[in-house]
Amino acid sequence: MRRIELNLYSRAGLLFISMFVVALAPIRILPADVFSTEDVFRLKYATSAEISPDGKWIAYTVSVQRKVTDPPGERYSELHVVSTETGESRPFVTGMVEVESPRWSPEGDQIAFLSSRGKKAERQVWVIPADGGEASQITHSPTEVKTYRWHPLGDHIAYTATTPASEREKTLKVKGFGFIFYEENLRHRNLYLLDANRSSDRANAAQLTEGITIWDFEFSPDGKWIAASASQENLVDHRYAFNKIHLLNLKSKRLTEFSENDGKLGNFAFSPDSRTMVYTASLNQQDHAVSQVYFKPVNRGVVKNLTPPDFQGHLVWAGWRDNGTVIYRAAEGTWYTLNTVSITGGDRQVILHSESEKVVFDSPTYTADFKHFAFTGTWADIPEDVYYWSPGSSLKRLTVLNPWLADRNLGKQEVISYKARDGWPVEGLLYYPVGYRSNRKYPLIVKVHGGPESHYSYGWHTDYFIPPQVLAGKGYVVLLPNYRASTGYGLKHTEAHFADPAGVEFDDVADGIQHLIDIGLVDGDRVGLGGGSYGGFAAAWFSSYYTQLVKATVMFVGISNLISKVGTTDIPYEMLFVHYGQKLEDRWQLSLERSPIYHAHKSRTATLIIGGADDPRVHPSQSLEFYRRLKMNNHPAVRLVQYPGEEHGNRELQGRIDVLHRSLQWYDWYVKDERPLDGDMPPLDISDTYGLDLN
């Protein structure tokens, strides 16, 4: 299929798009159909929303699934623009494209974006006129552009890119001497400044930094400074554990450390007068997620924490309303709020609440006068769409990317609360099966989130691995628990998990299962559980330590051995600082006893182990170790499936299709149909269930 690039006013292109349906297989849409596996791969998502400087337009990207017949790769990402006044949406760059990070020029006459075009092309900055036309390439970096920003005057663009390999390194690689020197001879992510004038030589960008890795950055409104988050090594672990804000004076080119965060760093922004900085970060090194909002004068004044005392949530993003007022977004349980607070302190003002607006909104972009906001947002029955908001009014939904969902009979979703065994209140989401009747007991599937620095909000959660609406359509109750260690409930909720892996956190999950059994909603003999990453750790734990509670588990890129995990992950410092607090030598026995392999001999749970064969976060050996311990103990129902080329989660369509169908097959076989553990396992080749023509 050819690339499709449309002019803003191309009626022929609009007609083509309206007639073109991307589908994995012919789908018959009938009223009251349940949500199917095929539907999972029809979903479109708004992935970013950028408001124009005048507030009249929003540039947004839409994630669209590839077809099986397309070259392997991630989902496509298209660029569209929608009017905030009329709601009319127009395609800009669509088809087999990968568009990311749209940004309006300061004058609002151009839209820049990241894209890679052409065979083996590196990702570069492109610009398209705001009134339509063809896109032109602005940067010509020898390595891909990671992130970029417009200069406030609109005449320059700054971007980050990794130092290219030297000619000698290239020669050695060609001659077969391109050896891997693990975590040595790393190349930094540098900051560059480029004249955006069309007549300039765009290949000659000025390098602004060296000897340090720049992860993200922002210009000051007066154009004199760049604030950049940076670490001494180009390692993801250093981004998590040692990332600090630095200030770069564009006149002197001097880079100095600015922030005082001793832990994880979130976003940051200059005040409108360029004199003060606001940033989000963790409270301390032990705090496992961004949770606080701070401000500090650029002239080296004293840092101040603006977070409400004993706040029962997590502050996840911050910006400015005016020079004296900070705006921040907070996760509070299953909801999000948008708030303002004076830099002098005092009580916050909640200006937007997702529960009352019935939209779980993302962090906003907004105009300088604070009158126009753009969000992506979701709800129980709405995957991410684009929303517009003007303070004092209600959020307005501007896109309906999945209109066919109106023809689906979805399971009811609600917030559930229960008490853990020690009396601690635990929240989560509960899905009822389609056609639910109160006088029946249903099979249950529990989906445990990863992180654990994450949580379930009251939005859309059905995807290729966590498909609660597919499960609800198949007659299951589904529980998504926000166990202790989850964000969104304050630091006391997260601190309970520190140095206690698989402790109260997974006890909370077990108590949620027991609660649903006790109230008569769930059949205790038909319970399954799955999770990815840290949720995969939970799946292995419930396959072994808590085996009596679950009939079947699906462990996706999960942890099985806390001892070997430390030596094979790409985030060892993050694990040390925010999860364990001690080096392995000082917690050896605890790590052993809290490892699923230690309890594998107890397992009476059908265990499906799946994951990427190239995962740097949770090494594939974690899956192999658990598989081997189960098999060596004569476990009759264990299967290991790995996906070549995939890392920490599947990105390509083929692997996602298999994960979805194989997980559902496993649950149906052992949980719903109650097949015996020592009987036949499900068929290995399930390609005929994909609903695809593979001949």
Question: What CATH number should be reported for the domain holding residue 622?
Answer: 3.40.50.1820
CA-CA-CA-CA dihedral for 94, 98, 101, 106, to nearest 10: -50
Residue 257 lies in a domain: no
Return the structure tokens found at 414.
Answer: 């609600």
pLDDT digits (tens, 9 = 90+) for 413-444: 999 999 999 999 999 999 999 999 999 999 99
pLDDT-based confidence at 26, cuts 50/70/90?
Answer: very low
Say if residue 200's pLDDT is above 90. no
Domain carrying residue 458: 431-472+488-498+521-689
Give the model's pLDDT for residue 197: 80
Say if residue 289's pLDDT is above 50. yes
Q: Roughly what angle, to the nearest 10 degrees, separates helices 620-632 and 534-544?
A: 10
Over residues 530-541, mean pLDDT: 98
pLDDT-based confidence at 39, cuts 50/70/90?
Answer: very high
* b (16+ CB within 10 A) / e for 590-625: bbeebbbbbbbeebebbbbbbbbeebebbbbbbbeb
| Residues 552 and 452 occupy one common structural domain | yes
pLDDT-based confidence at 32, cuts 50/70/90?
Answer: low
pLDDT digits (tens, 9 = 90+) for 324-382: 999 999 999 999 999 999 999 899 999 999 999 999 999 999 999 999 999 999 999 99
d(CA 389, CA 411) in angstroms, rounded, equals 29
Residue 559 lies in a domain: yes
Give the model's pLDDT for residue 29: 38
pLDDT digits (tens, 9 = 90+) for 577-591: 999 999 999 999 999
| Residues 460 and 369 occupy one common structural domain | no
Give the model's pLDDT for residue 118: 80
| Residues 441 and 576 occupy one common structural domain | yes
Can you give 548-589 as a three-state secondary structure string?
Answer: HHCCEEEEECCCCCHHHHHHHCCCHHHHHHHHHCCCHHHCHH
d(CA 21, CA 19) in angstroms, rounded, equals 6
Residues 6+ apart with CB under 8 A from 465: 530, 532, 556, 649, 650, 656, 659, 660, 663
Structural domain count of the chain: 2
pLDDT digits (tens, 9 = 90+) for 179-195: 999 999 999 999 999 99
Residue 644 lies in a domain: yes
Residue 155 lies in a domain: no
Return the structure tokens found at 349.
Answer: 């003002």
What is the pLDDT of the chain when averaged over all its residues? 93
Say if residue 133's pLDDT is above 50. yes
Give the model's pLDDT for residue 612: 97
| Model confidence, pTM | 0.93
* b (16+ CB within 10 A) / e for 170-184: eeeeeeeeeeeeeee
d(CA 471, CA 448) in angstroms, rounded, equals 15
Specify the 3-state DSSP secondary structure of 669. Answer: helix
Give the model's pLDDT for residue 258: 95
Over residues 292-300, mean pLDDT: 93
Asked if 160 contacts 191 with a C-beta cutoff of 8 angstroms, the reply is: yes
* Alpha-carbon distances, residue 154 vs 14, 104, 125, 491, 621 (angstroms): 31, 10, 14, 41, 49
| Residues 401 and 454 occupy one common structural domain | no
d(CA 552, CA 554) in angstroms, rounded, equals 7
Residue 199 or residue 319, greater confidence = 319
Over residues 595-621, mean pLDDT: 97
Say if residue 229's pLDDT is above 90. yes
The dihedral built from the CA positions of residue 585, 586, 588 and 589, taken in this order, carries a sign that is: positive
State residue 303 phi and psi, 5-degree precision.
-75, 145
pLDDT digits (tens, 9 = 90+) for 496-513: 999 999 999 999 999 999
Residue 333 lies in a domain: no
Give the model's pLDDT for residue 201: 54
| Residues 366 and 466 occupy one common structural domain | no
Q: Is 476 exposed, middle or buried (0-12, 13-18, 19+ CB in 10 A)?
A: buried
Residues 6+ apart with CB under 8 A from 633: 600, 601, 603
d(CA 653, CA 556) in angstroms, rounded, equals 16
Residue 298 lies in a domain: no
| Residues 556 and 459 occupy one common structural domain | yes
pLDDT-based confidence at 23, cuts 50/70/90?
Answer: very low
| Residues 449 and 545 occupy one common structural domain | yes
State residue 592 phi and psi, 5-degree precision.
-65, -50
Say if residue 132's pLDDT is above 90. no
User: 304-305 and 349-353: which strand pairing?
Assistant: unpaired
Give the model's pLDDT for residue 14: 32
User: 45-51 and 110-115: which strand pairing?
Assistant: unpaired
d(CA 332, CA 330) in angstroms, rounded, equals 6
| Residues 370 and 463 occupy one common structural domain | no
Percentage above 90 pLDDT, the chain? 89
Lowest average pLDDT, out of 27-31, 555-559, 686-690, goes to 27-31
| Residues 370 and 493 occupy one common structural domain | no
| Residues 566 and 531 occupy one common structural domain | yes
Give the model's pLDDT for residue 150: 98
| Residues 384 and 526 occupy one common structural domain | no
d(CA 459, CA 195) in angstroms, rounded, equals 42
Percentage above 70 pLDDT, the chain? 94
Give the model's pLDDT for residue 15: 30
Say if residue 136's pLDDT is above 50. yes
Q: Where are the beta strands (DSSP E) in 84-165?
A: 89-94, 99-104, 110-115, 124-129, 136-137, 145-150, 156-162
Residue 467 lies in a domain: yes
Residue whose C-alpha is closest to residue 234's, from 162, 299, 300, 326: 162
Residue 276 lies in a domain: no
* b (16+ CB within 10 A) / e for 577-589: bbbbeeebeebee
Over residues 385-395, mean pLDDT: 96
pLDDT-based confidence at 687, cuts 50/70/90?
Answer: confident
Give the model's pLDDT for residue 367: 98
Residue whose C-alpha is closest to residue 246's, from 282, 204, 211: 211
Asked if 671 contacts 683 with a C-beta cutoff of 8 angstroms, the reply is: no
Q: How many CB atoms lie within 10 A of CB 437?
A: 8
| Residues 402 and 435 occupy one common structural domain | no
Angle at the Cα of 296 from the Cα atoms of 290 and 300, rounded to 5 degrees: 130
Specify the 3-state DSSP secondary structure of 538. Answer: helix
First vs last C-alpha separation in the chain:
19
Residues 6+ apart with CB under 8 A from 257: 244, 245, 246
Return the structure tokens found at 635.
Answer: 């476990």
pLDDT digits (tens, 9 = 90+) for 468-495: 999 999 999 999 999 999 999 999 999 9
